Amino acid sequence: MRNILIVFLLISALVTTAAELKITVLTDLHLTPGNADDKLMPQLVEEINGNDTDLVVVTGDITNRGSDAELQNVHRQLSGIRKPLYVLSGNHETNWSESAGQTFVRLWGQERFAVKNKGVVLIGFPTGPYLKMGDGYVRSEDVAFLKESLKRLAGAGKPVIVFCHYPLAGELGNGPAIAEILRKYNVLGIVSGHTHEQFRQRIYGLESIVCRPLTDWHKTHGYNLLRTDGKTLEAVEKRLGGEILAFKRRDPVEVKPFPPEAPLPDHVEVTLLHADPASVFTGAAATENGVYYGTSDGRFVALSPEDGRVLWEKQLGSPLYSTPAAYDGTVAIGTTSAPDGQEGGGGIAFFSERARKLLHWQATPAPVIGGGCATENELYIGGGSRSFYRVDANGSCIKASGEGFGSMQGRPAVGEGVVVFGAWDTNLYALDADTLELRWKWNNGKSQILYSPGNVNPVIAGGQAIIVAPDRFMTAIDLKTGKTIWRSNAYKVRESLGRSVDGSTVYAKTMDGELIAVETGRSEFTLKWVCDLKFGYEHAPCPILESDGVVYAGSRNGVIAAVDADSGTLLWRFRGGDSAVNDFSRSPDGAIYATLIEGKIYRIRD
């Protein structure tokens, strides 16, 4: 009876108080042209146009995989709303985007917003993850936008409502840091989605409203309504075409600091070489002359390997996601747009290490997201989608495009006369390393695009190509024929793989936070050892690296673990921050370099 009275009072308030700010919130629409959710949109738009809310906010996951066709479709559907509309991206737009997020910005004109309506400040920002599986993370430029917007609009205790896709707790790597910023202001609530559940909760001392998806687990359809008088923020669920229901409340969540790590062994030195002001989603290329990486604000940076000084940097336009590759005095990086004076939907920029200038520019039809694999004097790299390239140090290029490859996020492998790479079109491809003619293509038999080997780093060894992919299988494929030799899901692996220096072993990180070592060249899955890295639940796709008998693995929350390659014994752990480790690289002098999303570049000497 009490709940019925609460709902009645909320309905009355939403309907009768004209001076108050009223907001419709949509989240997790998951539209693909023609799917069940897509067919609900005309009714949803009509109902929103007929209610008395002042504006509409959409907090992400508007599509299933962020393709251009899906984004154009949902933009057309949402354009029918005849009210001020603010749209944010979710992980389904930023994780698999074939345009590196540029189509979203082109359609909606912005990635974030900060406005004032009826005396209430409304701020929204994206939370990633960006172009690979992992936790969400608020980029450095979005943190700066949040701070500036609060300072400009929210002084003197003005009420604030914040919108983003991820709740602050759980899967948002720097959620505690964002909460610390917001607690200094009069924040009425953090409004988010992502969980496909609906509840209210105090998270890190802030009132949080986690909203329902268009279609929930119980196959009900609906959205949420907010009302504020500038002092409190109330929320209800609105079933599509039906009733209004109250929210349930969950127990509060407090910040739990990570326990300290054990001291490093005396012979191990981990140094913070550099902290970049932007976020970093690439690994690093390390040579005798420099350590090279890309940033979220489009800078290609060269550091001194000795003291971390910035030797030089070049602005390449849009955010960089492609891990650089170095060969024959050249360092190359894929870009998501064409720099000034160049052409293409993206491209590959080749720089001279010594001259510190652009040597060559290879335009590509789409943004280049994945990294390249460098041999002694050649680079193999995907062209984002629809093309694949082999480029030598003089800029001479061979292009393969006959297959119309899907978007590529991983790094190819080259060996035994073949180059192997995966794409977000369900296929793994093998091309002749000299001619780039197709040798074979393989898929796991699943039509679901999100099970594709699109962000894999294949291993070539013992006449086999070995991958781990989102289908959570490790698979060995005959390098000559493309036939499956074996598949195993004995361990829940996903996208994090590496090989031993001698090629006898592959290493994979499991979603349970373990590292497994598996023999190559065998006719069946042959386990050598298992090491508990003590990572817990784990899905960051950081590649594995072996160097000098030590195997390096990185976690979703900034931990680097070192394991003895022979015995599988955990040697040490080091926490470098609160964001995912992107990748590891080895320099000619044996130093290991690791980058973290929060912009930290570490050097490891053992």
Q: Is 34 left (phi over 0), alpha (psi -120 to 50) or beta?
A: left
Calculate mean pLDDT across residues 454-476. Answer: 96
pLDDT confidence of 355, banded at 50, 70, 90?
A: confident
* pLDDT computed for residue 87 by the predictor: 98
Counted domains in the chain: 1
- Per-residue pLDDT for 284 more than 60? yes
In a domain, 31, yes or no: yes
CA distance to 28, 282, 295, 341, per residue, from 299 (Å): 32, 11, 5, 16
Residue 165 within any structural domain of the chain: yes
- The parent domain of residue 226 ranges over 2-246
Is the pLDDT at 105 greater than 50? The verdict is yes
Q: How far apart are CA 102 and CA 180, in angstroms?
A: 30
DSSP assignments along 339-393, one per residue: PTT--SSEEEEEEETTT-SEEEEEEESS---S-EEE-SSEEEEE-SSS-EEEEET
Least confident among 5-14, 101-110, 183-192: 5-14
Give the residue with greater pLDDT, 473 vs 10. 473
Q: Helix or strand or coil: residue 196?
A: coil
For residues 60 and 66, what is the distance between their CA atoms, to the nearest angstrom? 11
Q: What percent of the chain has pLDDT over 90?
A: 90
| Alpha helices (runs of H) in 154-302, residue ranges in sequence order | 175-182
DSSP state of 544: P
Average pLDDT over residues 20-24: 97
Which pLDDT does position 18 carry in this prediction?
A: 39
Cα distances (angstroms) measured from residue 113 to each of 25, 109, 179, 232: 15, 10, 18, 22
Average pLDDT over residues 577-602: 97
Position 119 confidence tier, pLDDT thresholds 50, 70, 90:
very high
pLDDT value at residue 339: 84
User: Angle formed by the axes of helices 68-78 and 36-50, to 10°?
Assistant: 30
Supply the pLDDT for residue 4: 44
Identify whether the C-beta of residue 546 lies closer than 8 Å to the C-beta of residue 499. Answer: yes
Average pLDDT of 497-515? 98
Residue-level pLDDT at 403? 65
In the structure, what pLDDT confidence band is assigned to residue 488 with cuts at 50, 70 and 90? very high
Mean pLDDT of 466-493: 97
pLDDT tens-digit map of 292-321: 999 999 999 999 999 999 999 999 999 999
Q: Give the other-Cβ count within 10 Å of 367's Cβ.
A: 30
Q: What share of the chain is helix, strand, coil (3-state, %, to 5)?
A: 15, 40, 50
Please state, in angstroms and rounded to a whole number, the distance separating the CA atoms of residues 363 and 347: 4
What pLDDT is recorded for position 402?
67
**Distance (Å, whole) CA 166 – CA 211:** 11
User: Are the CB atoms for 559 and 573 separated by under 8 Å?
Assistant: yes
pLDDT above 50 for 7: no
> Taking all residues of the chain, what is their mean pLDDT, rounded to a whole number?
94
Percent of the chain with pLDDT over 70: 97
Q: Write the DSSP assignment of 488-543 as a string of letters.
A: E-SS-EEEEEEE-TTSSEEEEEETTSEEEEEESS-SS--EEEEEE-S--S----PP
- Does residue 384 form part of some domain? no
Arithmetic mean of pLDDT, 120-129: 98
Q: Which residue has the tokens 């070049």?
A: 314
Candidate from 85-94, 265-274, 403-412, 539-548 with smallest mean pLDDT: 403-412
- Count CB atoms within 10 A of the CB of residue 2: 6
pLDDT band at 8 (very low <50, low <70, confident <90, very high): very low
**Is residue 513 over pLDDT 60?**
yes
Pick from 348-352, 392-396, 532-536: least confident: 392-396
User: What is the CATH classification number for the domain harbouring 35?
Assistant: 3.60.21.10
In a domain, 426, yes or no: no
Residue 99 is assigned to a structural domain of this protein: yes
User: Is 320 a domain residue?
Assistant: no
Question: Which of 178, 174, 210, 214 lies closest to 195, judged by CA?
Answer: 210
Per the omega criterion (within 30 degrees of 0), is the bond before 129 cis? yes
Q: For residue 268, how many other CB atoms are within 10 A of its CB?
A: 15
Sign of the Cα torsion 292, 295, 300, 304 reads negative
pLDDT tens readout for residues 214-254: 999 999 999 999 999 999 999 999 999 999 999 999 999 99
467-501 as b/e: b if 16+ CB within 10 A: bbbbbebbbbbebeebeebbebeebebbbbbbbbe
The Cα-based distances of 123 to 71, 87, 207, 315, 472 in angstroms read: 23, 11, 15, 28, 38
When mean pLDDT is compared across 343-347, 481-485, 590-594, the lowest value belongs to: 343-347
Residue 91 lies in a domain: yes
Q: Is position 148 within any domain?
A: yes
Residue 401's pLDDT band (boundaries 50, 70, 90)? Answer: confident
